[in-house]
Amino acid sequence: MSKHHSNNPFKNTSSEDFDKIKEEQEQKTDDQPVQEDESDNKSSNELQEKYDALNQQYIRLAADFDNYRKRQEQEREHLLKYGTENALKKLIEVLDNFERGKKALEKVEDCQQVKDSFDLVHKQTMETLAKLGLEIIETEGQTFDPNFHDAVMQTPTNDYPEHTIINELQKGYKMGDKVLRPALVNVATEAS
């Protein structure tokens, strides 16, 4: 009888041994993806944490900006409301003097006394408005400036240099650098 030779490596291996080897091989192949999954999860978690931190920072900045905008709006409304209130309080004193003058003039027949009363109230009105920042724009004898003056007339003359304001037709007013109303003026031009 001839010996039959087999190249089967598992020939002398029991089924229990075979199961153990199979499990070991499965564990080896399972360990590699698990390690990759763990590193993927770790980097994903890190990215999620960074995203959450930036998102929270953005939310805080957006809330801070919204609060800032609301505060600015309230301050602007407050300034307008109480700035007007302050101006009106100062003008009430002028109104009081108009009322006193009106009562005093009911029985007065002297025109000079009426003129003096009117001048006094006008002076007080102008002082009150000056305290609020109102300034009269200078005109007569000044060089015409389109930023402050509105030339509604031009008069050819040799008596004044060209572009000089000859007379004022309506007063102009400014507050600081802001023109509230330009002065209406007559400007000298070169005579032919």
Measured in whole angstroms, the distance separating CA 125 from the mean position of its chain's CA atoms is 34
What is the pLDDT averaged over residues 109-133? 85
Regarding whether 96 and 67 lie in a shared domain, the answer is: yes
Regarding whether 174 and 144 lie in a shared domain, the answer is: yes
pLDDT band for position 1 (cuts 50, 70, 90): very low
What is the pLDDT averaged over residues 153-158? 92
Question: Do 162 and 144 form a contact (C-beta atoms < 8 A)?
Answer: no
User: What does pTM read for this prediction?
Assistant: 0.54
Could you list the beta-strand ranges (E) of the chain.
134-136, 149-157, 165-170, 173-175, 178-181, 183-190
pLDDT band for position 27 (cuts 50, 70, 90): low
User: How many CA atoms within 13 Å lie on the side-chain side of 89?
Assistant: 7
What is the pLDDT averaged over residues 115-121? 84
- Confidence check: pLDDT of 98 > 70: yes
pLDDT band for position 153 (cuts 50, 70, 90): very high
Q: What is the residue range of 123's domain?
A: 23-132
Regarding whether 105 and 60 lie in a shared domain, the answer is: yes
- In the chain, the number of structural domains is 2
